[in-house]
């Protein structure tokens, strides 16, 4: 059963005047509203104390910020009690802090809810499915909830290698590979003038330097030939370049 957290009792007639004054920049009124609702804010913050990387004071501070945001946006003409509206803002602000400080990446509200369902199910796939979490998301949620590791941290107890030592950058190139690729690009540019003009037009359209590749049909309309003929011209030009580079 969920517990509803309410602020300290105060005369309902007092709330509208405090909200109006606070929205108009009244610092004293804002402080009084916060003080009146602080027990309820703390009650929500205590629900998130299970995260070891987040102090309760940080949660309460975030809750106060969320509460003040609610005060600035509160419309008394709707007829909703202030706390009924502000509680959503308080909870959202606290959840955001938890997401930013407790894991290696920031999770959306939807992902946080699914992660909570996963924890309740204790990792059981059937229980998670019943809770509404697709099986494909289970592993991603587990990985996202793991504590962050420093790149200087040993990969295992007593190991000499650090996390950074075993991580590979798929975009990184060896100096020799980079030099070879640059040399290949230079040689291709030198060989382009040896191709027929139509072959150069096809290659420049199919492999542009700073634009989207053109389709075979588009180039065929420009050259007055079929798309299949453009494909043949492209393959012929590429074959000539490969033979010249060998």
pLDDT of residue 2: 46
CATH topology of domain 175-245: Arc Repressor Mutant, subunit A (1.10.10)
Q: What is the mean pLDDT of residues 145-158?
A: 69
130 — pLDDT class (breaks 50, 70, 90)? very low
**Mean pLDDT of the residues in the chain:** 75
pLDDT of residue 90: 92
Is pLDDT above 70 for 119? no
What are φ and ψ of residue 66, in 5° steps?
-60, -40
Q: What is the mean pLDDT of residues 110-139?
A: 61
pLDDT of residue 152: 73
pLDDT of residue 69: 87
pLDDT of residue 245: 79
pLDDT of residue 214: 85
150's tokens: 């420093």
122's tokens: 């204790």
pLDDT of residue 1: 41
Alpha carbons 246 and 32: distance in angstroms, whole number: 81
Q: Does the 14-144 domain belong in CATH 3.30.565.10?
A: no
**Selected residue with higher pLDDT from 196 and 7:** 196
Is pLDDT above 70 for 12? no
Is pLDDT above 60 for 13? no
Give the domain ranges of the chain.
Answer: 14-144, 175-245
**Selected residue with higher pLDDT from 6 and 76:** 76
**b/e 78-101 (16+ beta carbons within 10 angstroms → b):** eeeebbebbbebbbebbbbbbbee
List % helix, strand, coil for the chain (3-state, nearest 5): 65, 0, 35
């Amino acid at each position: 059963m969920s517990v509803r957290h309410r602020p300290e009792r105060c005369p309902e007639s007092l709330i509208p005047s405090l909200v109006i004054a606070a929205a108009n920049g009244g610092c004293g009124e804002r402080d009084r509203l916060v003080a009146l609702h602080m027990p309820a804010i703390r009650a929500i913050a205590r629900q998130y104390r299970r995260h070891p990387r987040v102090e309760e004071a940080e949660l309460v501070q975030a809750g106060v910020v969320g509460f003040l945001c609610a005060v600035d946006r509160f419309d008394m003409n709707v007829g909703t009690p202030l706390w009924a509206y502000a509680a959503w803002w308080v909870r959202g602000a606290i959840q955001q802090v938890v997401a930013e400080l407790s894991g290696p990446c920031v999770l959306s509200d939807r992902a946080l809810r699914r992660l909570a369902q996963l924890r309740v199910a204790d990792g059981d796939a059937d229980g998670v499915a019943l809770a509404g979490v697709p099986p494909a998301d289970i592993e991603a949620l587990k990985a996202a909830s793991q504590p962050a590791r420093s790149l200087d941290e040993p990969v295992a107890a007593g190991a000499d290698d650090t996390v950074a030592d075993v991580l590979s950058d798929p975009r990184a190139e060896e100096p020799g590979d980079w030099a070879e690729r640059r040399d290949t690009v230079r040689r291709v540019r030198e060989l382009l003038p040896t191709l027929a003009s139509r072959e150069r037009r096809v290659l420049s359209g199919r492999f542009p330097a700073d634009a989207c590749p053109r389709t075979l049909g588009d180039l065929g309309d420009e050259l007055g030939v079929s798309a299949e003929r453009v494909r043949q011209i492209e393959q012929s030009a590429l074959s000539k370049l490969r033979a010249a580079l060998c």
